[in-house]
Amino acid sequence: MEKPMRPEHPIALITGASSGIGEATARLLAANGCHLALGARRVNLVKELGGELAAQHGIQTFASYVDVRDSASVKSFVDDAAKALGGLHVVVANAGLAKRLDRVEAISEETWQLMLHTNVEGVIRTFQAALPHIRKSGWGHLFTIGSVAGHNVYENGGVYCASKYALRALVQTLRIELCGEPIRLTSVDPGLVETNFSRVRLEDDAKAKAVYQGMTPLVAGDIAECIRWALALPDHVNIDEIIIAPRDQASVYKVHRKM
């Protein structure tokens, strides 16, 4: 059986690439020679980022609008990216969010549907659209951005936690289904990362800042480095799951804060 060839410059597709972990991953992979397909709803930001990274690193980039809650949008983005860049090897299904802190009995349908449509269904759509292109390219690596909330629940976060538990089940199943193919699969599951995550969730800058007060959280670049490292390992090595947290966070309920 012919050994699959790792490309010298893998083509990596990133959803939610306009800020935070997605942007940091794009910057790090570009610095390591990957060509990039960048997608987000804030299309002006990914277009600007793509142009910057192409000029800085001499890579090819494709940047376009994508809403992972919409199947047609995802398929169009992935197909157009693969056509523009000549294939697809790496997918970082990064688009996701938390919205509000609500008890399960009180959360609005609009809020819980937003999280499930984005965090779970969005990954299914992205991987379904990408896998035919990856198989055609002959070598690949899929990444999801999970959460410690997919390992331990906490009150007022029931639906968000449920979405990340569902994502773990999805990834573990897909890992079995892809076994024997030259496609690796890694879930990176962070604890507290200071991005715009809490601002989106709490809709209040002061409350969002308080989430990280008195402790040293992770930053987006820390998660990007996990992705870069797992991708760089020899092809026979698959990092199934990375749980990464700040030293100051021992669990969802135990955070050391300096007074």
User: Shortest CA distance to 99 belongs to which of 16, 195, 198, 201?
Assistant: 201
φ, ψ for residue 188, nearest 5 deg: -105, 120
What is the C-alpha separation between 39 and 75, in angstroms, rounded?
A: 12
The question of whether 65 is a catalytic residue gets the answer no
101 in Cβ contact with 201 (< 8 Å): yes
65, 160, 212, 253: the catalytic one is 160
Residue type, 238: N
Q: What SS3 state is found at 109?
A: helix
What is the C-alpha separation between 68 and 92, in angstroms, rounded?
A: 13
214 in Cβ contact with 258 (< 8 Å): yes
Which are the catalytic amino acids? 160
